[in-house]
Each structure stands twice: as C-alpha cells, then as structure tokens.
Structure 1
C-alpha cells in the first residue's frame, strides 16, 4: 500500500478546515515543537520565537482553506513560520547586506588545515554567535535545506547575493568554531 506523503494528517487538516477546534489543537501539538525550533534558529530569542509560532498557527488556521495539498501541511506551515521570522527580523531592522552593486568571484577554496571532528554543540554555539544576516542564510541553506533560488525569493535578494552571503557566513562560522 503506497502512502501519499502530501496527505499526511489529511483527516486532521480537513476537520480543521471545517472549524473543528480539537483537530486544530491536535495539529498544533504535532507541529509546535518543530516550528518553534525553526523560528528559534532564525530569531535566537525565546520569547520572540514563541510569539512568532503563535502568530503562525493563527495565520495558518485562518488561511487553511487555501491549503491545497501541493506540499505537506508541515512544509506549508514551516514556510509561514520562516516568513514571519524574517518579517520580524526586518521590523527589528536587522538587514541582510545587499551585494548587488559589487562583483564577487567565489571560488571553491581548499581548507588548508585538516578537517577536525567538531561536536554539534560547538557548531550550534558558532551559529548562535553569527551576525543575524549570516545566521539566516546558514539556517535557510544548511539546516532548512532551501537552495539559493528559494532563499533569494524568501529574502527578496538576488541569487548571487544569497550565494555570496552564504560563502561569507560559512567562512565566518568556521572562524568562530575554531576559536571556541
């Protein structure tokens, strides 16, 4: 029996569309932790991430009738959380530096020192210490799995800006981890 992943929790989604509060609560319980982690990685402030999650669920349930199973409910909700997180950062005036007016040539650099095993806590600490714009790019590309085209659409920047920001963020992350 083949299961269509796009229809994961379809019964709960359909009941939620018709206003069933119990089904909405069940969806909330299924996704709240994962969505909180997404927002927390981008925002870094517990209280702000909690607010964003609540706003995201309210918006998702308010607009549930527009959900058409073109993606999973989780990825649809995750997109709402990411957009709200980005909007929150924009409201706090934490810019991503546009680099459209400059020409940068990014080449594949070889790391001169041997690659060391780094524990995950060091990586998490390193990401947390990055400037907000760099942390956004690292989270969207490495952790959330978006490609540069998707990131450029989400952040409303060019693909080349996304690539160069990622390159700089990766370099800064390596430097930060090496000092920890």
Structure 2
C-alpha cells in the first residue's frame, strides 16, 4: 500500500485539482519565494530563476491531477523546480569534469555555531558561492543547501556519483580560496 502524506496545504491542493484559481494562487503565494531561492541558487541568475519558477508552477498546475500525495506538495514542487533549473543549465551546455578516486580529498565538515560571527560567515559563504563556476555552484548548492546526497545529485544531473563528489570537493576548495581572498577565515 502506498503511503499518503497529508500536509498542511492538502485542502488547497484538492481545491486546485478541482479547478480553483484562488487555490492555485494561494499555493503560488505560499511556495513561490522558497522555490525562487532554490532556482536562484542553482542557476545563479535572478531573471532565469524567475523563468524557472514560472515554468515550474505552470507544469505543477498542469500536472496537479497527477499529484497523488505520495509526498508533500512542497517537496513535489521542489523536485520540479530543481529539475527545471538543471534543464536550464543543460541548455547552457554545462561541462562536468571527473577526478580519479585517489585524487579526491576528505575535507572534514565544520561545526556550525549560532553566534553573530558565524551568521556573518554564512552570509559571506552564500555570497562567495555566486562566484563559483556553474558546475561547482550547482553541486554544492544541491548538497549543502537542498540536502541531496551525491547519489541523488548524480541522478538529477545525469552524472556519476564520483563526479558529484569531485565537483563538491573542488567547489569547497575554490570557495575556501574566494573566502581567503576576501579575508574571511574559518
């Protein structure tokens, strides 16, 4: 038996399936900002992110009858936004590189502290991420900000899991260089 997830916006989804434009607008209002942020972190351009957002919502509303509550509406919509964002990057002919396993380094994760200095550093890291090459930015965003693992990223981007790990490690290294250049240290 399939699991059915009933989220707090279940009634809006039902109304949207019944053709309620008001319900569709309310879903858009509830999710558009978060979905725009996801698209922007992946594509790195606000105009393109807005286009991705509109396409994703159009797709979602056109396919809302196919949505079966096997997940939350927000997660379903996020998957559409990520997919549309990746498709846009593919249109740009994004090139991926792969390192051999023995050339990869294990970089330890830092502990996150909640004081103001850490919050400043988080903002600085997000700003520095905009300077990363597209392939690096996409993988590090999907991994760190969207919570996908390397296997999932590989499936989303149609690359190997090893390539995802490599891009992530290179992105972390490059991000460290950018932050160091700006005088921001860990």
User: Shorter-chain TM-score category?
Assistant: 0.7 to 0.9
Structure 1 runs not aligned, ≥5 long? none
Look up the SS of the partner of 1:94 in the other structure.
coil
The TM-score normalised by the length of structure 1 is: 0.88
Question: Is the CA contact 1:8–1:73 (under 8 Å) kept in the aligned structure 2?
Answer: no
Q: 1:108 to 1:92 in 2, by over 3 A?
A: closer
* Distance in 1 between residues matched to 2:10 and 2:148, nearest whole Å: 25
Q: Tell me whether 1:104 sits opposite 2:72 in the alignment.
A: no
Report the counterpart of residue 93 of structure 1 in structure 2: 93
Report the counterpart of residue 24 of structure 2 in structure 1: 24
Q: 1:23 to 1:122 in 2, by over 3 A?
A: same
Q: How many residues align?
A: 170
- Give the one of 153, 167, 170 matched to 1:168: 170
Question: Is the CA contact 2:105–2:169 (under 8 Å) kept in the aligned structure 1?
Answer: no
Please give the per-residue CA displacement for 1:29-62, whole angstroms capped at 9, x wherever unaligned.
0000000000111112111111110110000000
* Distance in 2 between residues matched to 1:147 and 1:70, nearest whole Å: 21
Q: Offset at 1:161?
A: 1.0
1:1-180 equivalent positions in 2, closer than 5 A = 6-95=6-95, 97-99=96-98, 103-105=100-102, 106-109=104-107, 119-180=121-182
Structure 2 runs not aligned, ≥5 long? 110-116
Q: Offset at 1:7?
A: 2.5
Report the counterpart of residue 112 of structure 2 in structure 1: none
The TM-score normalised by the length of structure 2 is: 0.85
* Distance in 2 between residues matched to 1:52 and 1:110, nearest whole Å: 34
